[in-house]
Amino acid sequence: MKMSFAKILVVLVAALVLAAPQSVQAADLKGDLEIFSWWAGDEGPALAALVEIYKKQNPGVNVINATVTGGSGVNAKAVLKTRMLGGEPPDSFQVHAGQELIGTWVKSDRMEDLTPLFKEMGWMEVFPEGLIKLIGTDKGIWSVPVNIHRSNVMWYVPANLQKWGVNVPQNWDEFFVAADKLKAEGVVPLALAQNWTANHLWESVALASMGGDKWDALWSGKLAFDSPEVVKAWELFGKVLSYTNTDASSLSWQQATDMVINGKAAFNIMGDWAAGYMTVTKKLVPGEGYGWAASPGTAGQFMFLADSFCLPKGVKHRDNAIAWLKVLGSKEGSDTFNPIKGSISARIDSDLSKYNAYLQSAASDFGKDHVVGSLAHGVAANETFMGGFASVMEMFLKSKNPTAAAKACAQLAKKAGI
C-alpha cells in the first residue's frame, strides 16, 4: 500500500508529538539528585560511568554522588541507617537484592513501590523472574538491579603459581597440601582482609562443606544453625584461617588483592569486584595477569548477589531519582556499568561482546550452575542477622570455637525470624 506525502507527514508529526513529552521532560529536570553508595575510590569508576550517562540525558540536574568508603558497605550502612531514621533519605541508595532490601527497608515500610516503573520500561520481561522475586513482595517491586556479582571466586596469578610449583586447588584438601608447601617457602597461602572479608570467606567455605542444597535449607529454616553440618563448616573455616595473614584486620579488600598481585600471597577469595579492580585499576589482563576458579569445593555452584538502587519514601528529588533508576535499568546503562564493575548484567539481553574473558566465563557459569544466595552481601539474611553474624565472627576469630559459633548463630536465626 502506497502512502501519500501528506499521510507520511501526518504520521511523522504524530510520532514526534508522542515522543516529545518524554524527552522534553527528561531535559527539563532541574535541581539536585543525591545518590548514596559505598562505591568510592577504586570502586568508583563504574558508578561514574553511569552518572555520565545520566548527566547527558539530564543536563539540568546537579548530581551529588555521596559515597562512604568501606568494602561491602561496612561504614555506609551505618550512615544510611542514621539518615533514614532521621528522616533525611538520599534520593536513591545502593542496597543488595534479597533480604537486605526486603527484610530491612521494605519491612519497615521505607520504600516506594516501583512496579509502575517496571511495567512502563518493559523490565518485567528483561530481568530474570527469580531476581524479580528477590526484589519483590506481594505488595510491589522495590529496587532496580544493576548487576550480578559472584561471591565464591578464588583469584591467583598464574605465573606465580607456576614459579612456586603449585596447582589451583579443586577442594580444601588439595588447598591444605599446596598451602603447607607455600608456607614453607614464606608465601602466605590465602590473603585475608578486615572482618567483613572473613564473613565473605566463611560463606565460600560453608558452601563447600555443606553443599548448595543444605546452604539453601539453612536460609529457609529447614536446617538448624547448630546442626552437625554447620559445626563442621565452622571447623573447616577455623583450619582455613590458620593459612591466612596475621595482619588481616588492618587491610582493605583491595590490599588483600594486592598481596596476591605482588606475590606475597598465593590466593584470595573475593567477589568478582576484584576482577574489576585488577582489570581497571591494576590494568591486568584476565587470564594472563590474573586467573580465577570457583573457590575450593564449589565448582558448579554460583553464589550470587546483586547490587540495586531504590526509591525511599519522602525523598527531596523524586523525579530526578526516577530518571536515575531508568538509566540503571537500561541496556545501555547496564552494559556500560558492568564491564567496568567486574559483574555481569542483571538483564537477560546484555551484549556479551562488551565483556572480558572473566566476565564471559561468569555469565556462562551463571547460566548453568546451581545458583545460591550470598549471606555476606545481603541475599540470604536481613540486617538483624547480618549485624549479629559480624559479632559472631569477631568472637570466632578470637576463640576459634566452632560449637559456640554455631550455637550463637542458632540464637541469632531465631531473633531474625529465619
**Residue 273 binds ligand GAL, judged by CB under 6 A:** yes
Q: Which of 91, 258, 307, 319 lies at the binding interface for ligand GAL (CB under 6 A)? A: 307
For residue 95, list its beta bridge partners: 308
Among the listed residues 57, 63, 71, 380, the single contact to ligand GAL using CB under 6 A: 71
| Cell, residue 269 | 577469595
Rounded Cα gap, residues 404 and 395, in angstroms: 9
Contact set for ligand GAL, span 9-38 (CB under 6 A): 38
Using the contact rule CB under 6 A, the part of the chain among 47-55, 67-75, 176-184, 391-399 near ligand GAL is: 67-75
Q: Which stretch binds ligand GAL (CB under 6 A): 65-73, 161-169, 227-235, 312-320?
A: 65-73
Minimal distance, residue 48 CB to ligand GAL, in Å: 14
Residue (of 304, 178, 283, 173) closest to 236 by Cα position = 173
What is the smallest separation between the CB atom of 406 and ligand GAL, expressed in angstroms?
25
**Residue nearest ligand GAL, Cβ-based:** 71
What values do phi and psi take at 32, rounded to 5? Answer: -100, 160
d(CA 280, CA 48): 13
Q: How many alpha carbons lie under 13 Å from residue 293 in its C-beta half-sphere? A: 15
Q: Which residue type sits at 68?
A: V
Instruction: Answer yes or no whether residue 359 interacts with ligand GAL by CB under 6 A.
Output: no
Using CB under 6 A as the binding rule, whether residue 203 contacts ligand GAL is answered as no
Which residue lies nearer to ligand GAL by CB, 161 or 340?
340
Closest distance between ligand GAL and the C-beta of residue 308, in Å? 9
By CB atoms closer than 10 A (0-12, 13-18, 19+), residue 357 is middle
Residues 412 and 418: their CA atoms lie apart, in Å, by: 9
Residue (307 or 369) nearer to ligand GAL, CB: 307
State in angstroms the smallest separation of the CB of 326 from ligand GAL.
21
Amino acid identity of residue 280, one-letter, is: V
Q: Residue from 149, 150, 326, 347 that binds ligand GAL (CB under 6 A)?
A: 149
Q: What are phi and psi of 282, to 5 degrees?
A: -95, -5
| Beta-sheet pairing, 61-67 with 31-37 | parallel
Closest separation in Å from C-beta 376 to ligand GAL: 7
Asked if 150 interacts with ligand GAL (CB under 6 A), we say no
How buried is residue 358: exposed, middle or buried, by Cβ count under 10 Å (0-12/13-18/19+)? buried
Mark residues 79-118: x for contact with ligand GAL by CB under 6 A, - for none.
Answer: -----------------x----------------------
In single-letter form, the type of residue at position 22 comes to: Q
List residues near ligand GAL by CB under 6 A.
38-39, 43, 71-73, 96, 149, 271, 273, 305, 307, 377
